Structure 1
Amino acid sequence: MECGCRPFVPLARFAGPAGGKAAGLRRLLTAGLPVPDTWVITHDLLERTSDGCLLAGARFLADTALRGAPAVVRSSAENEDVPLATGAGVYRSHLDRRTPEEIVAAVRWVRAARADADARAYRRMRRTGGSRVHVLVQRMIGCRTWGVLYTRDPVSDEPGMLVESSRGVSVPVVAGLGCEESYALPPAAAGGAGPSSWELDGRPLPELLWRLGGVLEREFGGPLDVEWGEDGQRLWVFQARPLTPASPVPAARNRPRPPATALRVTPVSRGYALGVPVPASPGPRPGAIVRLPVLPTAGELEGLRRAAGLLVQAGNVLSHAGALCREAGLPVALAPGGSPGDWAGPVLLDAVAGVVAPLSALPSHEREAAVAAVQFRAGLRPEPDGGPPYPPSLRAGRRRQSVAHRRPPATTPRRAAGRTELWLAERHMSAFAGNRALLLSVAGGSRVRFVGRAGGTGVEVGVPSRRAGGALLDRLGFRPVRRTGTPAARHGGTGR
């Protein structure tokens, strides 16, 4: 037979390409880290290998190398576990495969997962080609504790590592079902040496994990997402993949400061969002802050791309779904108690400081900072970076009195306020459906006023420019319907 009924090749002796996960494990083995025995079967070999040959190879593996131990069958796709594309949780791993028949069935399921809805949605979102899926078979370790280590905290400004773990298998942590323990570790020491062995020997587990993070960062040259476990005797490493860069956020001096009464939440994916909290619905809701019971899968995330942000009731930061949200650059926070149901107007989701507050409760200066932060996330930068400027009050670091609030001298003639644009929310498409917004050009800058169904002044925010205000309204699901040049009723008026 062409493959000699041994299609499973030990990873330590395998030299060809076999996907991102296999490449990461090879580097772990080269660095002398404690990795369980792993075998690889490539996509091309799977294409031409019959089930009978696979079964014969699995029986040989079970009788010799595994010697009755269970196995884990993992994917190693070409668009998985590589820089800028983690593919976290897109392809399923199958744990505790004990018989040759179970191993072969898991191999076929992993390979078939390339056609699943989540995998196809992920390829569309990331615009990646390569649907070739190699398969890894790894000896399963009976762990007391299993968890995830990020060598850089993905949601904090402070340098350091973050750990989440649970007893037994890692399913609760990576599936976003929560964790039993979560703690932060100091950043890796520059030039620090790893331990002489990875045996526990009474040493605290956090200390070993801290040393492991330092060794891995030096080996890979950057921050990593590491899946690990301990069986009561030693620490094991099951996989390691590069972290995607965190979403950029404004400098601390330009960030909005919501009031102390704001709802506290736990950031999962950093960023800022403005919108109305709405429940998940089948249709798209551009500009909405969508409330979800759990973190979304890759397929669900594709339908939420135009949402402003997500508020999720249950989950954990280092889950696969959390990694996908950070990869998509979507602001996400955990709100276990849910958001208040009487928030009918727009709110600020601050997934950096970890708060949610109604926009109407923020002072006008903080509203301007909130709008500027949302625009920064959308790629608009302050003047030094070539984008539209922040409001003057943010650039100067102090409040400036605008012309609209000054009383003109008695001899000064009245002047027009400029053109006013009326924008309406697209019904069934926007969280503001049935509402309207006025993009006002006044003699001190541009402002956006959100007006409710029953009229009234609503909430007003400052924007750096009319162009930036239009971009904000477009993202929130509004469309321009009328432009007028009505002169202001008085100097510095709104032109209503």
Structure 2
Amino acid sequence: MSVVDLVNAEPSTAGGKAAPLAELTRAGLNVPAGFVVPATTYRAATTALDLGELAADRAEEARSRILGSRLPEAVVDEVSRALERMTAGAPTDYVAVRSSSSTEDNREASGAGQHDSFLAVRGAEQVCQAILRCWASMWTERAVAYRARHTEKDPVAVDMAVLVQRFVDASVSGIMFTGTTSVIEASWGIGEGIVAGHITPDSWRVGESGISERRPGLKTERTDRHDGRLVTRPIAPGEQETLCLSDRQVLRLHALGEEVSAILGGPRDIEWAITDDARWILQARPVTAPVPAPTEPPPATVTDSATLTGEPASPGVASGPVRLVRGPSDFPTFKRGDVLVCRHTDPAWTPLFTMASAVVTETGGVLSHAAIVAREVEIPAVLAVPRATEFLTPSSAVTVNGDTGDVSM
């Protein structure tokens, strides 16, 4: 079969993202309805493209071959029928189309942000095109470089399943790391800005005795679906300063995280969303690197003219020259050992993490993609440093302390 209902998806062919969600669905937890285009369909559909003959340094050619192809008609027909079944009776017929590679969301490597997903997709034609784009995202420079560093598999010998689910129009969404203490980050609207590090979310820490810490973030904007577009708009000052979750909601999320961890076995990196009073599980991968312990006093301040303070997101201490990066056009100027300083990172910037001695950003939380990848490559990271790109002078030497959140000039 070219398509399998999520509840019936098998770990061997569903990929790292879909397989745990299938298990949670079978356990009766609240996971958006969906179906999986398994890795076997990817292999069958791409056989004629001769991708196996391409070395890792010819990844762009592989991308071009996939994007220039079409799904077999039999696959298109199955996707169309599955889409009709899945959206029947749903609040909307918009869906999320998400990558689920055999090399992501596992205990050795999260693959955080390395493959593409597409939100607010509508209709069989758009879904089929998004499936091809998910397949092609295995062949971006960042994904190939990440696999080469984090997995023992040949960077070329990988498979991609694709997960299609009902789209959740979230009023609040976020990420939760479970463990001895749960760390929860959240903001208004759809959670893409949180995972991408574009905003500094509200955060909580919860242990056996209850909530041990609450920190308001810098929630300057929110993203919501308007018809087929995701629209980002400013948040009113009053909402910026208000925690987006009540204590009751935080404790209920913590309890849900404990249940997910018990079912799947071990600490989990969970993406979640809230609509009205329903809590939805969107992701539940293993935690690959723990979150650093909190610091006192609260970060995100400028302490003096020589030291900036932010959120300690990846442990360790490193020094190097500041390299301001505003986008891909600045990549050629980046040198091994530089301290990457930017407003926020993007998954396409992952190759820089393997060259950088440390990372400093102006926005983001400790559960964002940038923080997770920094911990995996074992470089210090300090996020949510106010006006870092203004205060840190290009080529000047700084020391980044990912244990305390200090950036010293």
Please report the TM-score for the alignment, with normalisation by the length of structure 1.
Answer: 0.60
How many Å separate the matches in 1 of 2:308 and 2:9? 53
2:326 matched to 1:277? no
Partner secondary structure for residue 240 of structure 1: strand
Partner of 1:353: 404
Task: Tell whether the 8 Å contact from 2:103 to 2:151 is kept in structure 1 after alignment.
Answer: no
For each residue in 1:322-357, what CA deviation from the matched residue of structure 2 results, as whole angstroms up to 9, or x when unmatched? 211111111111222216456986433111111122
2:25 matched to 1:29? yes
Deviation at residue 100 of structure 1 after TM alignment: 1.1
Partner secondary structure for residue 83 of structure 1: coil
Paired letter, 2:398: V
Paired letter, 1:72: A
Given the superposition, is the C-alpha separation of residues 136 and 14 from structure 1 closer, same or farther in structure 2, using an over 3 Å criterion? Answer: same
Partner of 1:320: 369
Given the superposition, is the C-alpha separation of residues 349 and 99 from structure 1 closer, same or farther in structure 2, using an over 3 Å criterion? Answer: same
Partner of 2:132: 108
Question: Which of the numbers 242, 264, 273 marks the counterpart of 2:286?
Answer: 242
Partner of 1:265: 310
Paired letter, 1:81: D
Partner secondary structure for residue 64 of structure 1: helix
Given the superposition, is the C-alpha separation of residues 321 and 95 from structure 1 closer, same or farther in structure 2, using an over 3 Å criterion? Answer: same
Paired letter, 2:158: S
Given the superposition, is the C-alpha separation of residues 31 and 179 from structure 1 closer, same or farther in structure 2, using an over 3 Å criterion? Answer: farther
2:263 matched to 1:219? yes
Deviation at residue 242 of structure 1 after TM alignment: 0.6
How many Å separate the matches in 2 of 1:344 and 1:330? 19
Task: Tell whether the 8 Å contact from 2:106 to 2:285 is kept in structure 1 after alignment.
Answer: yes
How many Å separate the matches in 2 of 1:83 and 1:288? 29
Partner of 2:176: 149
Given the superposition, is the C-alpha separation of residues 211 and 48 from structure 1 closer, same or farther in structure 2, using an over 3 Å criterion? Answer: same
Paired letter, 2:141: A
How many Å separate the matches in 1 of 2:308 and 2:118? 39
Structural mapping, 1:58-77, within 5 Å: 58-67=79-88, 69-77=93-101
Partner of 1:175: 196
Paired letter, 1:237: I
Using the aligned pairs only, state the percent identity: 27
Task: Tell whether the 8 Å contact from 1:313 to 1:336 is kept in structure 2 after alignment.
Answer: yes
Question: Which of the numbers 338, 351, 362 marks the counterpart of 1:288?
Answer: 338
How many Å separate the matches in 1 of 2:319 and 2:208? 33
Partner secondary structure for residue 362 of structure 2: strand
Paired letter, 1:38: G
How many Å separate the matches in 1 of 2:204 and 2:277? 22
Given the superposition, is the C-alpha separation of residues 177 and 149 from structure 1 closer, same or farther in structure 2, using an over 3 Å criterion? Answer: same
Task: Tell whether the 8 Å contact from 2:38 to 2:161 is kept in structure 1 after alignment.
Answer: yes
Given the superposition, is the C-alpha separation of residues 75 and 247 from structure 1 closer, same or farther in structure 2, using an over 3 Å criterion? Answer: same
Partner of 1:125: 149
| Structure having greater relative contact order (Cα 8 Å, sep ≥ 6) | 2
Partner secondary structure for residue 203 of structure 2: strand
Task: Tell whether the 8 Å contact from 2:137 to 2:143 is kept in structure 1 after alignment.
Answer: yes
Answer with 84-93 or 37-46: which moved more: 37-46
How many Å separate the matches in 2 of 1:188 and 1:69? 42
For each residue in 1:279-321, what CA deviation from the matched residue of structure 2 results, as whole angstroms up to 9, or x when unmatched? 3452453333232232253x53323424321222233322222
How many Å separate the matches in 2 of 1:63 and 1:24? 24
Given the superposition, is the C-alpha separation of residues 247 and 302 from structure 1 closer, same or farther in structure 2, using an over 3 Å criterion? Answer: farther
How many Å separate the matches in 1 of 2:4 and 2:264? 24
5+ residue gaps, structure 2 = 46-70, 211-245, 294-302
Partner of 2:114: 90
Given the superposition, is the C-alpha separation of residues 10 and 346 from structure 1 closer, same or farther in structure 2, using an over 3 Å criterion? Answer: same
How many Å separate the matches in 2 of 1:56 and 1:188? 53
Partner secondary structure for residue 149 of structure 2: helix
Task: Tell whether the 8 Å contact from 1:267 to 1:354 is kept in structure 2 after alignment.
Answer: yes
Partner of 1:80: 104
Partner of 1:9: 4
Answer with 132-141 or 119-128: which moved more: 119-128
Partner secondary structure for residue 59 of structure 1: helix
Paired letter, 1:42: P
2:377 matched to 1:332? no
Paired letter, 2:17: K
Deviation at residue 55 of structure 1 after TM alignment: 2.6
Partner of 2:233: none
Given the superposition, is the C-alpha separation of residues 120 and 341 from structure 1 closer, same or farther in structure 2, using an over 3 Å criterion? Answer: closer
How many Å separate the matches in 1 of 2:312 and 2:139? 32
Number of aligned residue pairs: 325
Structural mapping, 1:296-311, within 5 Å: 296-297=346-347, 299-311=348-360
Given the superposition, is the C-alpha separation of residues 318 and 24 from structure 1 closer, same or farther in structure 2, using an over 3 Å criterion? Answer: same
Given the superposition, is the C-alpha separation of residues 177 and 16 from structure 1 closer, same or farther in structure 2, using an over 3 Å criterion? Answer: closer
Paired letter, 1:271: G
Answer with 302-311 or 179-188: which moved more: 179-188
Q: Which has the larger radius of gyration?
A: 1
How many Å separate the matches in 2 of 1:217 and 1:114? 28
Task: Tell whether the 8 Å contact from 2:341 to 2:359 is kept in structure 1 after alignment.
Answer: yes
Partner secondary structure for residue 294 of structure 1: coil
Paired letter, 1:174: V
Given the superposition, is the C-alpha separation of residues 35 and 287 from structure 1 closer, same or farther in structure 2, using an over 3 Å criterion? Answer: same
How many Å separate the matches in 1 of 2:139 and 2:402? 33
Please report the TM-score for the alignment, with normalisation by the length of structure 2.
Answer: 0.72
How many Å separate the matches in 1 of 2:118 and 2:393? 44
Given the superposition, is the C-alpha separation of residues 14 and 176 from structure 1 closer, same or farther in structure 2, using an over 3 Å criterion? Answer: same
Paired letter, 1:10: D
How many Å separate the matches in 1 of 2:134 and 2:4? 17
How many Å separate the matches in 2 of 1:269 and 1:127? 21
Question: Which has a greater percent of helix?
Answer: 2
How many Å separate the matches in 2 of 1:248 and 1:231? 30
Given the superposition, is the C-alpha separation of residues 187 and 63 from structure 1 closer, same or farther in structure 2, using an over 3 Å criterion? Answer: same
Task: Tell whether the 8 Å contact from 1:125 to 1:302 is kept in structure 2 after alignment.
Answer: no
